[in-house]
Amino acid sequence: MSTTTNLGCVYCGETLTLNSPDYIHIVPLRSWTFGYNWFDYIPMDAKCTRCEKSNWIYWLRPVNYNWYRTT
């Protein structure tokens, strides 16, 4: 089960509708956050449909992911 979120393109502002890669990595970030290791992230290249540019999204696994999990 994945979650869906809407983010804007950093270049043109077009809305990007993104699905998380799994039910554990559910928090979308634009850049790395200190305090986590690289196993906590899944990088995703979301290409904008309007301007055709890449928007890198890093899906974070929260420390306690069961709290975020919806059933």
- Would you tell me how many other CB atoms lie within 10 Å of the CB of residue 60? 20
- What is the model's pTM? 0.77
52-70 pLDDT tens trace: 999 999 999 877 655 444 5
The domains of the chain are located at 4-64
14-67 pLDDT tens trace: 999 999 999 888 899 998 877 777 778 899 999 999 999 999 999 998 776 554
Q: How far apart, in whole angstroms, are the C-alpha atoms of residue 3 and residue 35?
A: 24
